């Protein structure tokens, strides 16, 4: 059962895809070593189990044309979303690679130890930069806490 508990989400995803792609009614039941049942069903586990227990076995029910068209449309939307997610993941990986490749100056202002700054003018400039960064961070945190986009 360790394998199932680790792979539960993946198994449910695959079962859902199987049902969507094949138009099949799917019922899945696993009982853990602690005795807890886990089920998955499309349209529902109960409907699939009742159909099987009533002697209908694995024969598919005839679906009307409208239902098939809706399923095909949903399948197209699903594929489109999967492709978009893959493209966004690729963009993210490329952005990370670009960010890691950028050179960072060893004498960048944020790496300066304020205790080592002797000139008052330079210290004030450094303080202003720290305050600007602090304000940006506060805005970012507030935006994330409220679910808004960052300007």
The 10s digit of each residue's pLDDT in 66-99 is 677 788 888 899 999 999 999 999 999 998 888 7
One domain, residues 82 and 54? no
One domain, residues 12 and 44? yes
pTM for this prediction: 0.37
One domain, residues 54 and 71? no
One domain, residues 73 and 117? no
One domain, residues 53 and 4? yes
One domain, residues 116 and 91? no
Query: Is residue 151 included in any domain, yes or no?
Result: no
What pLDDT sits at residue 63?
52
Total domains present in the chain = 3
One domain, residues 76 and 118? no
What pLDDT sits at residue 92?
93
Burial degree of 69 (CB within 10 A; 0-12, 13-18, 19+): exposed
Question: Distance between the two ends of the chain, CA-based, in angstroms?
Answer: 47
Cα 62 to Cα 51: distance, rounded to the nearest angstrom:
14
What percentage of the chain reaches a pLDDT higher than 70? 79
Q: Which domain holds residue 11?
A: 1-60
Residue 49: is its pLDDT beyond 70?
Answer: yes
Summary mean pLDDT of the chain: 79
One domain, residues 139 and 111? yes
CATH of the domain at 47: 3.40.1810.10
Burial degree of 115 (CB within 10 A; 0-12, 13-18, 19+): exposed
Lowest mean pLDDT among 10-14, 19-23, 26-30, 95-99: 19-23
What pLDDT sits at residue 107?
65
Region label for 102, one of left (φ > 0), alpha (ψ between -120 and 50) or beta (otherwise): beta
One domain, residues 55 and 66? no
Other beta carbons within 10 angstroms of residue 40's beta carbon come to: 19
What pLDDT sits at residue 150?
47
Averaged over 121-141, what is the pLDDT? 87
What pLDDT sits at residue 110?
66
Averaged over 28-35, what is the pLDDT? 81
Select the highest-mean-pLDDT range: 10-19, 97-106, 107-116.
10-19
Greater confidence, 91 or 104?
A: 91
One domain, residues 37 and 81? no
Question: Where does 6-140 show beta strands of DSSP type E?
Answer: 26-31, 37-42
């Amino acid at each position: 059962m360790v394998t199932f508990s680790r792979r539960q989400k993946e198994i449910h995803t695959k079962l859902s895809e199987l049902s969507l792609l094949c138009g099949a009614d799917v019922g899945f039941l696993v009982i853990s070593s602690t005795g807890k049942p886990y089920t998955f069903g499309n349209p529902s586990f109960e409907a699939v189990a009742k159909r099987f227990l009533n002697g209908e076995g694995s024969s598919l029910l005839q679906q009307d044309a409208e239902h098939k068209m809706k399923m095909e449309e949903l399948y197209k939307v699903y594929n489109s979303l999967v492709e978009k997610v893959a493209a966004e993941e690729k963009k993210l990986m490329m952005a990370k690679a670009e960010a890691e490749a950028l050179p960072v100056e060893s004498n960048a202002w944020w790496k300066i130890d304020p205790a080592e700054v002797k000139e008052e003018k330079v210290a004030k400039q450094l303080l202003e930069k720290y305050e600007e960064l602090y304000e940006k961070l506060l805005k970012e945190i507030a935006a994330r806490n409220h679910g808004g986009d960052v300007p």
